[in-house]
Structures are given as C-alpha cells and as structure tokens.
C-alpha cells in the first residue's frame, strides 16, 4: 500500500470541495416570502438538532475501492468539539496511519513508507484536490449539513414527508443538499472542476436522542469510500496523543 493511497483514504475526512461560483441564477420554485420563512425555520431547527456533544469517540470500518485496488481498514475517531479531531487507521491490528487536525494545523503520518505531512487543510487539499474548513469537517463526520442554507443564497426546491431538498441560488460547488425530516443529511451532490461527487448517509443511529451517522458513502470518479461507525461514546473526554516519529521523512506537497 503506497502513501498516496493512504492519503486518499484519509482524504475522505477532508471531503468538501472549494467554492467555485459563477453568476448563473436559478428560478425560485416558491415565492420569495415563503422560501425565506421556510429557510429560517429550517436553519433554526438544524442548529437545534445538531450533534452538539462536546466529545466523540467511535470505532470505524473503512472500505476504499478504485479501479486499481480495494482496501479494508479499521480505525478510530476521537474528537473534542471545535478543538481537535484525531483519526487512526489499522490493518489486521497493526497501525497504518494517523491524522491529527486542529483549526490551525494538519499533521499526518503513515507507517508503510515512514513519511509524514505537516501543514494546514489548504496545504493538504493541494495533494488530494479537496478543501474543507474545520467546522465543516466536524459536520461531515456528524452528518450535519455542510452549510447552513440561508435566504439569500439557497432555495427550497422540494418538500415532502420524507425529505427536504435545497439548492443554491447561484452555481455552487454544492449543487444540492437533501435533508431528512430530522434535518440531518441524507445526500449532498457536489461538483468540482467539472467532476461530480456524491456524499450519502444511508444509515443513522441514535445517541442521547440525537441522530449520528452509522454509515457514510463517498463516491467520485476516482474512488469510492464507505465508512461504518460503531461503539459510539460521548460522555468521557477522549485521550488524544499524537507525535510524529523522528526517523520519518517529510512529504512534499504536490509530490
């Protein structure tokens, strides 16, 4: 397994494309007043139903597939809200890679080729072609919408008892968000530099009367990644220890 494959797998957790807007406007399916009132209500309830636990610890199963290979990994996510996200990946119980993210910094190392990376999310995105802010990264993990739809930039295009669909007023890297009645994410369609991607949450579980993803799927032209969560813990502050071995070689961005 090469380090760039490990970065792609870890890159799942950095899966929000950078904004690429242009001035093409869409016709509103509802009156402006009705659209605005509904969006205000949706936005307020998204915040009420968000996963706001201060701590998170969960075991994960990762399946990565592309034309060249199919890889299964196990791992853990540990998170202190708005502070740090730590992800470790293993194969047959042996440590493979670790990722440590704070709002200011990203650190990553893998044990196959003994290489590491230090920088920020912008630096890492230049290697994997993705871009993500820290708070959006948290929402991606917890199943909350990647953006909060407001009255100025979003339209409601469909509402029924099973889902709510919102689309951007202008062309946007997020082409569509489909929300469940709980206002957790069901599906997000994205487009970046002409390539389409799909983020799906086909299964949820309940934790402290809040919904949390049980399964997340990422699909784009290059690969498909499936993440399954289990043994969720939110009560105790997780222990997070991360250090890069001194003998490892630094990865250069773009290589």
In this structure, what CATH number is given to the domain that contains residue 14? 2.50.20.10
pLDDT digits (tens, 9 = 90+) for 147-201: 888 888 999 998 887 899 999 998 887 889 999 988 899 998 877 556 677 889 9
The stretch 71-86 carries a mean pLDDT of 95
Asked if the model's pLDDT at residue 243 lies above 90, the reply is yes
Take residue 71 and report the two structure tokens written for it.
């890889």
* Distance in angstroms (rounded) separating the CA atoms of residues 32 and 2: 52
Asked if the model's pLDDT at residue 128 lies above 50, the reply is no
* Distance in angstroms (rounded) separating the CA atoms of residues 87 and 65: 19
Q: Is 185 inside a domain boundary?
A: yes
Per-residue b or e along 110-140, where b marks 16 or more CB atoms closer than 10 Å to that residue's CB: bbeeebbbebebeebbebbbbbbebebbbbb
Asked if the model's pLDDT at residue 121 lies above 50, the reply is yes
Grouping H, G, I as helix, E, B as strand and the rest as coil, residue 182 is: coil
Asked if the model's pLDDT at residue 12 lies above 60, the reply is no
* Distance in angstroms (rounded) separating the CA atoms of residues 42 and 185: 13
Closest CA to 131 of 197, 77, 221, 192: 192
C-alpha triplet 47, 212, 209: angle, nearest 5°: 70
Asked if the model's pLDDT at residue 247 lies above 50, the reply is yes
Quick check: 154 and 30 in contact, CB under 8 A?
no
Q: Is 250 inside a domain boundary?
A: no
Helices (H), the chain: 3-10, 32-49, 121-128, 134-142
Task: Sort strands 249-250 and 115-119 into parallel, antiparallel or unpaired.
Answer: parallel
Q: Is 187 inside a domain boundary?
A: yes
Asked if the model's pLDDT at residue 2 lies above 80, the reply is no
pLDDT class for 4, splitting at 50, 70, 90? Answer: low
pLDDT class for 125, splitting at 50, 70, 90? Answer: low
The stretch 112-141 carries a mean pLDDT of 75
pTM comes to: 0.79
Q: Is 42 inside a domain boundary?
A: yes
* Distance in angstroms (rounded) separating the CA atoms of residues 242 and 157: 45
Measured in whole angstroms, how far is the alpha carbon of residue 16 from the centre of its chain? 6
Mean pLDDT of the chain: 81
Q: Is 244 inside a domain boundary?
A: no
Q: What is the DSSP letter of 248?
A: P
pLDDT (0 to 100) of residue 76: 96
Share of the chain above pLDDT 90, in %: 39
Window from 26-40, 74-88, 139-153, 202-216 with minimum mean pLDDT? 26-40
pLDDT: is 20 or 173 the higher one?
173
Take residue 251 and report the two structure tokens written for it.
């990865």
Q: Is 80 inside a domain boundary?
A: yes
Asked if the model's pLDDT at residue 107 lies above 60, the reply is yes
Q: Is 237 inside a domain boundary?
A: no
Total structural domains in the chain?
A: 1
Q: Is 239 inside a domain boundary?
A: no
The stretch 59-88 carries a mean pLDDT of 92
Measured in whole angstroms, how far is the alpha carbon of residue 119 from the centre of its chain? 19
Asked if the model's pLDDT at residue 44 lies above 60, the reply is yes
Full residue range of the structural domain in which residue 60 is found: 3-18+25-231
Share of the chain above pLDDT 70, in %: 81
The stretch 132-160 carries a mean pLDDT of 87
Asked if the model's pLDDT at residue 42 lies above 50, the reply is yes
């Amino acid at each position: 397994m090469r380090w760039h494959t490990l970065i792609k797998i870890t890159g799942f957790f950095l899966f929000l494309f950078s904004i690429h807007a242009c001035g093409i406007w869409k016709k509103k399916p509802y009156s402006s007043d009705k659209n605005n009132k509904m969006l205000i209500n949706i936005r307020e309830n998204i915040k009420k139903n968000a996963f706001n636990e201060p701590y998170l610890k969960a075991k994960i199963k990762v399946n990565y597939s592309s034309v060249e290979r199919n890889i299964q990994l196990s791992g853990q996510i540990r998170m202190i809200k708005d502070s740090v996200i730590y992800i470790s990946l293993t194969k047959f119980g042996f440590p493979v890679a670790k990722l440590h993210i704070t709002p200011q910094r990203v650190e990553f190392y893998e044990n196959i080729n003994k290489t590491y990376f230090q920088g920020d999310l912008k630096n890492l995105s230049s290697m994997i072609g993705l871009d993500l802010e820290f708070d959006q990264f948290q929402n991606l993990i917890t199943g909350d919408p990647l953006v909060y739809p407001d009255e100025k930039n979003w339209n409601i295009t469909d509402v029924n008892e099973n889902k709510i669909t919102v689309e951007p007023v202008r062309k946007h890297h997020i082409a569509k968000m489909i929300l469940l009645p709980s206002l957790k994410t069901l599906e997000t369609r994205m487009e970046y530099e002409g390539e389409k991607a799909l983020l799906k949450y086909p299964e949820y579980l309940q934790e402290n009367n809040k919904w949390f993803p049980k399964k997340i799927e990422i699909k784009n032209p290059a690969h498909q990644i499936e993440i399954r969560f289990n043994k969720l813990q939110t009560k105790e502050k997780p222990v997070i220890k991360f250090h890069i071995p001194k003998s490892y070689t630094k990865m250069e961005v773009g290589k």
